[in-house]
Amino acid sequence: MKILVAVKRVVDYNVKVRVKSDNTAVDTANVKMSMNPFDEIAIEEAVRLKEKGVATEIIAVSCGVTQCTETLRTAMAIGADRAILVETSEELQPLAVAKLLKALVDKEQPGLIILGKQAIDDDCNQTGQMLAALADLPQVAFASKVDIADGKATVSREIDGGSETLSVTLPAVVTADLRLNEPRYVTLPNIMKAKKKPMEVLKPEDLGVDVTPRIKTLKVNEPPKRSAGVKVPDVATLVAKLKTEAKVI
C-alpha cells in the first residue's frame, strides 16, 4: 500500500511573526522556514505504518515555491521514499492545494492520504476535508491514533468532552492531530541518504489544475499589544480589581 503525505513549508514555529510595513502580508524575507509541525507528525505516522509492514511506499508531496524542496528533503530524511514538488510562485489557497493533491491521488492511487490537520501560518484546517470531498473518499479529521487492518483504518480522534473511534474503508483521508505521535529526530546519515532519493517536479498545468487565487487579502494587522499583568497581595484585592477595573464580575 502506498501512503501519500502532504507537507507544507511555513514560517518556523519558534520565529516571532511580523507583518510587512504596508500591511499586505506576513514578512517572510530572511525568516527561518521549516515543515509545518502537524505535517511532520503526518510523515512520522506514515513511517511508523511502514515499519509495521502496513505500507510499502511513502510519497511526500509539497506545493509551492522552489524552496519547498528543502521541506521535502526533510520528509525523506524522516523516512519518505520519494517526493513530488508541484512548483508554482502563485499564492496557494486550500482549494487549489486540494485540487492539486486530488490530481496526484488519481495519478498515484495511494491507499491512504495523511495530512496535518492545519498549517500554522493560515490555520485554515480545510485542505484535508476539501481533498476528501473532491476525491469522494472517506475521511477522519484530528486523528490521535491510527490502526490499519483488513482494508480498513480504525482512527481515534478527540472531540468535545471525550474521544471518538471511527472505522473507514481504504483508500481514505486522515488529518493528523498533535497527540498522534512525536516525530523522531532526523539524523545526519538520514539527511545524506535523503539527498539521493528521487524527487519529481511538476507544474500545476501538468496536472490540469488552475491555482489562481479566489480570495484576496485586503489587510493584515498584528494583534494589539497586551498590557503587562500585575501581582496582587491577596484574594480580596483580586476580587476587587476584577469588579472595579476589569468589570468581569
Q: Domains plus CATH for the chain? A: 2-223 (3.40.50.620)
Residue 29 confidence (pLDDT) above 90: no
Q: Give the C-alpha separation, 249 to 235, whole Å.
A: 14
Residue 28 confidence (pLDDT) above 90: no
Residues facing residue 33 across a β-bridge: 11
Q: Which residues does 222 contact at the CB level (< 8 Å), separation at least 6?
A: 18, 19
At 124, the pLDDT band (50, 70, 90 cuts) reads very high
DSSP state of 31: -
Segment 84-94 mean pLDDT: 94
Q: Give the C-alpha separation, 193 to 241, whole Å.
A: 60
Segment 57-64 mean pLDDT: 96
| pLDDT tens digits for range 194-224 | 999 999 999 999 999 999 999 998 999 888 8
The pLDDT of residue 224 is: 85
**Pair 87, 51: CB distance under 8 Å:** no
What's the sign of the alpha-carbon dihedral 192, 198, 203, 208?
Answer: negative
Nearest to 36 by CA among 73, 11, 15: 11
- Average pLDDT over the chain, rounded to whole? 94
**Which of 100-109, 155-164, 234-243 is predicted most confidently?**
100-109
**pTM of the prediction?**
0.86
Q: Helix 127-135 and helix 94-108: axis angle, to 10°? A: 50
The pLDDT of residue 226 is: 81
Q: Give the C-alpha separation, 42 to 35, whole Å.
A: 11
At 115, the pLDDT band (50, 70, 90 cuts) reads very high
The pLDDT of residue 24 is: 87
| CB-based contacts of 161-167 (< 8 A; 24+ apart in sequence) | 166/140
Q: How many CB atoms lie within 10 A of CB 103?
A: 19
The pLDDT of residue 207 is: 95
Query: With left for phi above 0 and alpha for psi between -120 and 50, is residue 114 left, alpha or beta?
Result: beta
| pLDDT tens digits for range 125-170 | 999 999 999 999 999 999 999 999 999 999 999 888 889 999 999 9
Segment 3-21 mean pLDDT: 93
